């Protein structure tokens, strides 16, 4: 279920995507579009559709660095079912 097209390695983002894609082991985690969260002293957020971005000081003008994405199935489970 993990989908990633990172252009620069980000082990934290890879771990986040892997953990969130594992619905069986981590069913309780919910996502809210554009809600920022920190992991390993980095700031991340998801856009609608499950696209993960990291906010870096140099990336403010482009709204963040694309890190990868989760599948539609995972996105809908973690968002729609949580409302």
pLDDT digits (tens, 9 = 90+) for 8-58: 689 999 999 999 999 999 998 999 999 999 999 999 999 999 999 999 877
Higher pLDDT, 19 or 1: 19
Domain membership of residue 43 as a residue range = 2-82
Higher pLDDT, 83 or 11: 11
Structure confidence at residue 80 (pLDDT)? 72
Say if CB 76 and CB 68 are below 8 A apart. Answer: no
How many domains are contained in the chain?
Answer: 1
* DSSP 8-state symbol, 27: T
Q: Torsion angle, CA of 19/2/17/54, rounded to 10 degrees?
A: 180
């Amino acid at each position: 279920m993990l989908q990633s097209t990172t252009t620069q390695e980000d082990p934290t983002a890879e771990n986040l995507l892997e953990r969130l894609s594992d619905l069986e082991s981590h069913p309780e985690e919910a996502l809210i579009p554009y809600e920022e969260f920190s992991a390993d002293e980095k700031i991340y957020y998801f856009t609608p559709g499950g696209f993960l971005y990291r906010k870096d000081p140099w990336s403010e003008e482009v709204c963040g660095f694309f890190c990868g994405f989760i599948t539609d199935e995972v996105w809908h489970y973690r968002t729609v079912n949580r409302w």
